[in-house]
Amino acid sequence: MKAVIQRVTKASVTTGRVKVASINDGLLILLGIINEDTQEDITWLSNKIANLRVFGDDQGVMNKSILDINGDAIVVSQFTLHANTKKGNRPSYIKAAKPDVAIPLYEQFVSQLESDLGKRVQTGEFGADMKVELINDGPVTIIIDTKQKG
């Protein structure tokens, strides 16, 4: 699994003309899934995100996690995170898991993150054409790949 995590003061996801998710202070998480991803990846990544210290303390030092600030989260599936641009100018998405594999893993990740955060996690709409709006706070953007955790 690959995640792009952005610290936000505001974020929302719209499909068509319907706003399907909206948060204030928290994290916007773009999630890419491949066929080799497992429950171990889900558990590790969810725990890492829940405890990632990217929010400022009283001295402005990034010492607090989303748990510490009681922040909110939106998870958006994004197969393009696994784009291969090695050959040519048209990215290949062959590594990205197909919906029959990706959807259950995506749903399991959201459920695990809800458990780790102790609150509801908002989501985009899997496979939909979404418009994601955000105000990146900092800016703070972290990329985590569970296949490179060693």
The residue annotated as part of the active site, out of 6, 14, 78, 112, is: 78
Q: Return the structure tokens found at 134.
A: 């955000």
Among candidate residues 6, 55, 79, 112, the one labeled active-site is 79
- CA separation for the pair 24, 100 (Å, rounded): 32
φ/ψ (deg, to 5) at 100:
-65, -25
Helix (H) or strand (E) holding 48: helix 39-51
Contact indicator for 32, 126 with CB cutoff of 8 Å: no
- Provide φ and ψ at 62, rounded to 5°: -70, 90
Task: Name the active-site residue from 9, 38, 80, 141.
Answer: 80
For the question of residue 55 being annotated catalytic, the response is: no
The CA distance from 28 to 74, in Å, is 5
| 80 annotated active-site | yes
* Distance from chain centroid for Cα 76: 6
Helix axes of 99-117 and 39-51: crossing angle, nearest 10 degrees = 40
Q: Is 78 a catalytic residue?
A: yes
**Residues designated catalytic:** 78-80
